[in-house]
Chains A and B, each alone.
Chain A
Amino acid sequence: MKRRLVVIGNGMAGARAVEEILKRDPEAFDILMFGAEPYGNYNRILLSNVLNQTQSPSEIFLNTLEWYQENNITLHVGMKVTHIDRVSKKVFALKLSAEDIPYNKAIQGIDGDHFVEVPYDELIIATGSRPFVPRIKGSELPGVFLFRTIEDCDQIADYAKGCQKAVVIGGGLLGLEAARGLMTHDLEVSVIEAADQLMPSQLDLESANLLERAMGAMGLRVFTKTFTSQIVAKDGRVSRLIFKDGGILETDIVVISAGIVPMTEVAEKSGLKTNKGILCDDQMRTEDPHIFAVGECIEHRGLTYGLVEPIWQQVGVMADILTGVNSETRYVGSKTGTKLKVMGVDLASMGEKETDENDDEVLVYRDPNRGIYKKLIVRENKIHGAILLGDTGLSDSLMQLFMNEKELPENRGEILFGSIDGSKLLDAGDLPDSAQICGCNGVCKGEIVSAIENGNCSSVAAVGAKTKAGMGCGSCRGFIAQVIESVVGEVSYDASEHYYVPGIPFEKSQLVREIRSNGLKSVSVVLATLGGGQEDPTTKTGLASLLKTLWPKEYEDERDARFINDRVHANIQKDGTFSVVPRIIGGVTTPEELLRIAQAAVKYKAKMVKFTGGQRIDLLGIKKEDLPNIWKDIGLPSGHAYTKAFRTVKSCVGTDFCRFGLGDSISLAKEIEMRFQGVEAPHKVKMAVTGCPRNCAEALVKDVGVVAIEGGQWEIYIGGAAGSTIRKGDLLCTVDNPQAVIQYTSRFLEYYREHAKYLERTYGFVERIGIDLLKGILIDDNMGICLNLESKMQEAVDAYKDPWKEAEDPVYPFQFDGPQLIEVLQEAENNG
C-alpha cells in the first residue's frame, strides 16, 4: 500500500514540494493537495507583471490541470484546511464560497459546517503568508486592496478603471512594484512609507535617496516618514488618507503592501509550536514527526523568508527525507538577494546593506548624475553585502560569488566594473554543484550537469527543455552555456534549432534539396511528403515563404498556409480591424495621391491617419469588408507593411534640393523600391538610400543601406538594424554607379532569401555568416554563383503581382467578408 501524502497549500512551495518528491520517487505516495485559491499553482512572482499588464493571468500558471491528472494527484481547489487531528491523523477542510478571500483570518469553519475529511500518513504545511495590514482605520473600505493573488490583481484592475489617483501604502520591494503596476493603469500614483527611506530592508539611505529620485522621474510621488492613521470614504468609495501629523492626501484607490505575515493558524489550532512562523528543524519537520512545513509559513533557526530561493532549497531537503533518498540532508538557512522588477529601474541587492565592523572593506562608487550607485561590503575577501543601482550588469556574477562564498579578485575594481581585459569575473565551471544557477525556476548546477552528462543535453535550449533552467527571465543563460562548456568542452546547438521549420526535420539546405528534387510545389504536398502527414500549424507559414522563393512562378499558393495578414494583405489590429499602408515609393508622393488617401480615410472612417516610421501613411482601423474598396479608391499598390517581404526604401532629399547632396538619393531609392517591392524573404527587408554621409535616411541601420560619398561613389552596407536589436551595417562594397548598387543588392538579397533561416533578419544572418565570407561570395564571386543569384532575383521581380489587385478578383469567396449573419428559426430547427 502506498503511503498517503496530504499537502496543505497549493502555492509555490506546496506544488514544488510535490514535484521534487515525484522526481525522486513517483511511486512512493498517493498525493492529495488542498489549495484555498480557486485554481492550480501559478508563479506568484509574476503577479507584478500581471498588474503592470505585461502578462495575462493565464500566462503565469506553472502546473496545468493535466499535470495534476498525469501524476494522479487529487487536487481540491477553493478549499481551506481548518485543522488537523494529529491523533487520528486526519485533515479537515472547508469549501470556500466565491467571495471568500483565502487569507481571511475569520474563516475558521463553524461546527456543523460541511467539512471534507481526509486521512494522511505524512503531511506538508505550505500555507505561505498573508499581507500584513497595519492598524489603519478604514482599511476594510471598498477601494482598499491587498496585493498577493491573481484575484487581487483582477480586482485592482477592475476598480482602477474609474480612478485617477492611487496610493500604495508601503515603500518596500512589493509596494514599489505595485506602484509601478498601477501607473500602467493611467493613474497618478503616490507611495507612503513610514520609515525615512524606500526599501529599508535592502537599501542604505544613500541608494534609497537615489532610487526615490529615479522613481520621481518616472512620475511617482514618494512620501517617507509618513504614517497613515485613517482611510476615509465618500459615497461608498475611498476618497482620502489622513496622516498622523494631520496631513491629507486625496485618492481614489489604495493598495496596502506593508509586509507579510506567515499563515500559521492551521498549525496553531492543531497544537504545533509556532512563533513568527511554524517552527521547524533542519529537516523541515515540525515537532510532529509526520508533519513537515516549508515556504513562507515557516520559521527556521529564528528566520522567516519572503522569497522563493530559500523554498527551492527547503523542498529539496524535505523531498530527500520523505522519500528516504537521503535521510542525513539538512537545510541550514539561505542567503538571499533580490532584484527590483520595475521597468526602467535597475536595482539588485544582496546580504547586508551596512556594516559596523572595522575590518570590513567597503567599496563605493557613485555617479549620481547618471543615477548609478554601487556598494560592496567585503569581509574576509568574500562579498558580505552589495547594492547595485542604475547599472546591474555584474549583478548575476556578484550574486553567484555571494551565494557560493567565493574568493574575490585582488583588483577590487573588477568587482565594481568588470575586468579590463574582458575576462570573466566568475567561471561557472568553478561553482559547486549546489550553486543555484536559475533563480526563477530553482535549478542548481548539479541538475544542469546531470542533464548534460546523462541527458545528452549540449545546448542551452536542450538544458532548458529538460530542467526549466533559463526559461524564466533568461538572465542565467550565459552561465548555463559556461556550465556546458566546462563539462563537454563546447556548446552545441540543437539539431532542431537548425530545422528551417519545426515540423520537418531538415535544415534549410537539405529541405531545399528535397523540395527541388521531388518537385514539391505546395505546402500541403510538402507536409504530406516530408512532414509525415503531420500538419503543424506553426510550420505552414515558413514553408509558404520558402516555396515562393524556390518556385517564383510555379508555386501553388494555398491561402490556409498564410497568416491572416497575408490572406487579406493588411495588418490585423488588436480589435480585429486592419490597417492600410499604400506604397509611397521612396517616400515621395504627390498632392493627387494625398487627396485620394484623404478621401478614402474619410469615406471608410479610418480611426487614425498616421505617418509611419517608414515614410508613408497608415490608415488604421479599417474593417475587413472595406479593404477591397478602400484599395480601389486609393489607387496605389500595396506597401507590404504586413508581410515577410521587401518593405520600403527610406530616402533623403539628396542632390535634388539639399546643399550637401553628393548623389541623387531620391532617384536611386525609387528605382530600388520599384524593383524589389513585394519580393518575399525569410523576414522583412528594409532599405535606405541617403545622399551623403550625414545619413539623414539612417542607412547604416537598415537591412541594406546605401550612402552617397565623394567622387560619385556609393557605399553599400548590409545587416544594419535599429529595432529590437541595434547593429551598425557592415560595408559590403563601394561602387561608382547606381546600376552597380542594384546589381550587388540583388545578389545579397537573393543569397539571403536562399540561405537565411525562417524569421532570421539580415542582422542575424550577416552576423552568422560573417562579412568577409559574404564579400568573397557576393563581390569576388569565389563560388561562381553570382550570375545565378542575379537571374533568380530577376525571376522573383518578374513574378511580382500587386496583392491589392485581389480587390477586383478575390481568390476565394468571402475572402474579405465579416461574420455571416445566420437567422435562427428556433421552432423549425429545434430537434430537442
Chain B
Amino acid sequence: MMLILLISYVIELRVIYKMRKKGDVFTTSNLLALVIAAIGIALLVVVGDRILEKYQNQDSKNAQKLLDSIIAKINALDEGEENSFTFIWVKDWRLAGYNEDENRPEKCLGACLCICPPASKISNFPNILPEQISLCQDRGFCRNVEFDNVDLRIRNVITFKGENCIDWPTKKPFGFYGQVEGVIEPSKGNILEDTSGQRSVALELIISKNSNLSIKKSHYVDRKDVFGIGTRVVEENGKQVCYGNYPS
C-alpha cells in the first residue's frame, strides 16, 4: 500500500516539476503521467475498499461457518438421536427455520435453515416476517434440509442453586419447552419476553432429528423464578437435589 502511494506521489511530483520547468501543461508525457497517477489512485481506492470489505465481512463469514457447523452436526446425528452442542454465536445474527409449505426466502428450494441478520420487528413467528425473509434472501445464508418439519424453539432448563434439576423418571435435566418461535437467536431467553437487550455469546443447542428436525436453545431458569412446574428439593447424602416429576 505504501509503495503504491509512493509511486503515485513520485509520478505526480514529476508532472508538477515538468509543468513548472517547461511551463507546458498538456504535453503527452505529462498527460500520460497524470493518467498513470489517476490509475494509481483508483487502484488504491479499489484495494482499500477490498481490504475494508474483507474486514467488515468477518461477521458474515463467521455466520456462514456457524450455519455449516450446525448443518454438519445435524447430518452427523443418527435418525432418532438427540445431542447438545455448544456454539459460539455471531452477534446480531439469527438462525431461522422454514418449512416447505410456508413463506420462505427464494433461495430455499424446500425446507431450509438460514442464518440472517434479524428483522427489526418483534413477532410471535419472526422467521416468516416479510422483512426477515427479505433479509435472509439478500444478506443471509441458507441451506436446504430434508425434513417434513423444522422446529426451532427454547427449552427452559430448571436449575436450583446453579445445578440442573433432574427429571425423576428419565434422570435427564428437567425442563419444559417454550413456544415455537421459528428462530434461534442469542437473546437471553424468549424473544417476546426478553427486554433486557442482552445477548449471549455462547448458546447450547439441543438438536434432535427423525422425520422432523428440532433445534432447541437451552435457557436456564432458576426454580424460584418459575411457578407451578412441580419441582421438589430432596436431601440426598447430605446434599440438596432438585427433582422434577418426583413421585408423591
Say whether A and B bind each other: no
Interfacial residues, chain A to chain B (CB-CB below 8 A): none
Interface residues of B (CB under 8 A from A): none
